[in-house]
């Protein structure tokens, strides 16, 4: 999760430096893919029913947000 947040932060900086909002979109898509591929959840939430499914759905929402949203710089 920390790797995803750092990557998203770096994409925001690249977007600011290059004055191109596509970097933010790519950052959100990669951040969502991290959760779709490997749904990381806290230890206390392991007993919640279908927690990995809900985390993957949240990752898909991040991907959809990265695809359909146009971030300006």
Q: Name which of 29, 41, 37 is nearest 1 in CA terms.
A: 41
69 DSSP 8-state letter: -
Q: What are the pLDDT digits (tens) for 44-64?
A: 877 888 888 999 999 999 999
Confidence bin at 15 (pLDDT 50/70/90): very high
Q: Which of 8, 5, 10, 21 lies closest to 71 in space, CA to CA?
A: 21
Q: What is the pLDDT of residues 16-42, one digit of tens each?
A: 999 988 999 999 999 999 999 998 887
Does residue 42 sit in helix, strand or coil?
Answer: coil
Q: Is the pLDDT of residue 72 over 80?
A: no
Q: Measured between alpha carbons, how far is 54 from 37 in angstroms, rounded to an integer? A: 13
pTM: 0.85
């Amino acid at each position: 999760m920390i790797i995803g947040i750092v990557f998203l932060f770096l994409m925001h900086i690249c977007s600011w430096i290059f004055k191109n909002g596509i970097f933010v979109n790519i950052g959100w898509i990669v951040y969502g893919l991290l959760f779709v591929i490997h749904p990381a959840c806290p230890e206390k939430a392991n007993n919640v029913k279908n927690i990995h499914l809900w985390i993957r759905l949240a990752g898909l929402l991040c991907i959809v947000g990265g695809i359909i949203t146009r971030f300006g710089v």
